Structure 1
């Protein structure tokens, strides 16, 4: 089960960075008390939740990500070359069996590399891993 991520903030940079990091919901601090249950319910049903009064400047910033690039971890800072290969193959949609065959590993070893990458990068889903790979130019979007 993936954790529920709701961002409660008023600062536009915090909102942008939180959403870029995977938050699927947003509440203004002034509305959090009244809408938190509705936000959790929506996210539990795999629907994003955004407060009705999201400032236009925040929406504008989110629609123009090039203007405020998301912070990324420099490639290679945390991963071994083999782990980077595994990240690339996962981001390209390969299964553990495919990765094992392509890299000459056992499926168990490919799974271990995947688990190590997820742990090192504190990622909880393949979609987060794909975002990491794109942001760090391990794969092309």
Structure 2
């Protein structure tokens, strides 16, 4: 186990193949600032290890014995883990992609991605952001623009924070009414797959200002991350299909 240093990114690897874990460890620990603090061979081991070690990021394989990576992700999210979960798989399949996003994963990377992409993904997720590559964003957009808009009915954190019984959350229209015009512009660009720096360039804003807008959007809509923001925007027909 690697010595812990404040400010470093602590990672748990979950994959049933020893050689894969060794390769991931070598790639990640070649980057200054990243420590692999634990390894799991099954989804059940991953859940237990993450609970014990409280890492910043979990690199989670999909197909594992005992408990698969998607089920393990759901358990960790339900347990309130603070770790960001990066799904790693050799299978470029939409069913895995959407199941991973719905399970609460913060990102999805193929194992044939470059070492640089893997390191960058871990760093992004460790900062508390979600990772949507252009290809993943395109597929999410195509999926949701092919469906009729759906009403947003999930309870928001604000509605349930007190722990007391509350009325049902307001529909999407009411939630969206809380957004400023600028926040709505930022949301549309998020749904088009723009990064914070790209949004800043298009709207002539500072990147820190964009990050503040994104945080307020997530808070007002009761969403966990950028991935949920994309899904919300297209489910409710407020994004601009085909915007590039």
Report the TM-score, using the length of structure 2 for normalisation. Answer: 0.31
**1:71 Cα deviation after fit:** 2.1
Match of 1:59 in 2: none
Unaligned segments of structure 1, at least 5 residues:
1-37, 49-64
**1:137 Cα deviation after fit:** 1.6
C-alpha separation in 1, matches of 2:211 and 2:73: 32
C-alpha separation in 2, matches of 1:110 and 1:89: 11
Match of 1:122 in 2: 222
**Greater RCO between the two (CA within 8 Å, min separation 6)?**
1
C-alpha separation in 2, matches of 1:42 and 1:85: 32
C-alpha separation in 1, matches of 2:73 and 2:204: 43
C-alpha separation in 2, matches of 1:93 and 1:132: 13
Contact persistence 2:188–2:238 (CA under 8 A) = yes
Report the TM-score, using the length of structure 1 for normalisation. Answer: 0.51
The CA RMSD over aligned residues, in Å, is 3.0
Paired residue total: 88
Match of 2:205 in 1: 105
C-alpha separation in 2, matches of 1:42 and 1:99: 30
Match of 1:74 in 2: 173
Q: Secondary structure at the match of 1:93?
A: coil
The answer to whether residue 66 in structure 2 is matched with residue 41 in structure 1 is: no
Contact persistence 2:151–2:236 (CA under 8 A) = no
**1:74 Cα deviation after fit:** 1.3
Larger displacement relative to structure 2 (124-133 or 81-90): 124-133
**1:135 Cα deviation after fit:** 2.1
Match of 1:90 in 2: 190
**1:111 Cα deviation after fit:** 0.5
**1:136 Cα deviation after fit:** 2.3
**1:138 Cα deviation after fit:** 1.9
C-alpha separation in 1, matches of 2:189 and 2:178: 17
Contact persistence 2:183–2:217 (CA under 8 A) = yes
C-alpha separation in 2, matches of 1:40 and 1:115: 28
C-alpha separation in 1, matches of 2:187 and 2:216: 11
Q: Which has the higher strand share?
A: 2
